[in-house]
Structure 1
């Protein structure tokens, strides 16, 4: 589903991560995450984490999206991500999955997990 990919990519953007209204639009209040670090987060802790972020020139490259319908209003979005510096150096390769739920008016992120993985070719 294109909207889920678009919203996932929005969450990779510093400006979106700094906007409480965008976070509340995109992330469900009962959100939980197991990060690439192994740390766990809930809605309140992810807001605090995002608020503490500093602007950076690195970007998140994501690719190979696959959407799996779990229920008509619940979708599993799987993809790969990597951090890319302005000079093209890469780090933090990960396989990621997000569970998005439709709340009657919009899709919101309910769960996210990042798992470190070996390097992959960027497409």
Structure 2
């Protein structure tokens, strides 16, 4: 799904047929791990791939690599390759990426507040609700 959105936005940008700032912004955020990656790079500084993988243990290597490449394409992070053995690659947030941190902080704050609200809502048993409706 995120690939479809991203490709559509890129196609529009290349053709010059693009005017929706909301869609552009959302396409940059689309991807399960991008916001978390930006958050950690923005708050903690430079990370190597293995360090990011430890922070995101549920992300596959393939998906994490793809998300990092897309963030680099969007100029939100930089990837620095050092000609060493073994090869060392560092990821760092760019100045443009830094401008997203206040938005990410607000999103995390919203999520924290929403979790608090959900804890106050009693969990429902779906089957009990269905039985009540039949009566």
| Fold in common (TM above 0.5) | no
- Higher-Rg structure is 2
Q: Which has the higher contact order (CA 8 A, sep 6+)?
A: 1
Structure showing the higher strand proportion among its residues: 1
The alignment's TM-score, normalised by the length of structure 1, stands at 0.22
